[in-house]
Structure 1
């Protein structure tokens, strides 16, 4: 058995993906307009359960049992509703890790992004995905063993294919989109400043 001693100078990162998928309900029996699933998983389907003890999703207080906890995958909640709200995803690590839980915040997205002059196809899901990396600095010896024995999974691929959502290509496209948006905001800011 390893000790709870921390490994000086060691840093390990583990990729995760979280967010939601929403689909409009075409036949409605209630005032609910969408079916949605909020989740935490490996970016390209990798197993992350070997370093996660528990995942809790905190939904809007109007939901019955608005705190949902899962000790094994899939770490996800599927519900129906009509409104967007902030969801808190809390990740707990095994007790031997000595790590505190981490909370992730994101808005449940039910509706597609505004795209002037474009219509959203009926039945097409709205994907609201986020890629992140959990960084473990100086893990305990026992947690280090857990982190390094688990499936490391492939690196982020060059191009999107199959079930892979993230790629270096999509990351570059997102950076370009953000640069364009920053340029537009800067331009508008300069216009207003000159007035």
Structure 2
């Protein structure tokens, strides 16, 4: 019997505080567990349309993301199947970023769409903090979110085994959670919101 193809995808932008929740989930999953060859773990970041081909290949899709459900910050919520596209993405980072709703729509249009979908979303605490990391309430939900996904995948015969030794990271070393947090400059060395010359308004300009 052919095994179902499983895609476990984390999406979001680690540079904007809790927006990185989905990516941090797949990072932890990749480091701490091993799976069969039919399971792909992927840091989708903000790749947008480039994720379509991967979604098309999946029979089962699990997505981790920061979702604005309007709930208490740090709250986890699961969404299934046809309801998933309604909830994707707490924040669109630019006008050029294709939302994951469009990725799902394109996969469905081509007739190659996962039969089973699970979205594990976490209500963010803070998004408007460039260079910031997950807030404590959101970071505490990374492992519970992973546990939800692993329990869901059991019905498809997916066995998660403890990782044996160090594994190759999904993203560059400087973006892994510990290095990213430790390497952040203080407030005096790096503006958190943008170019102070613009934020404060131009001075000394001629009229």
Query: Which bracket does the TM-score occupy, shorter chain normalised?
Result: under 0.3
TM-score by length of 1: 0.26
Query: TM-score if structure 2 supplies the norm length?
Result: 0.25
Higher helix share: 2
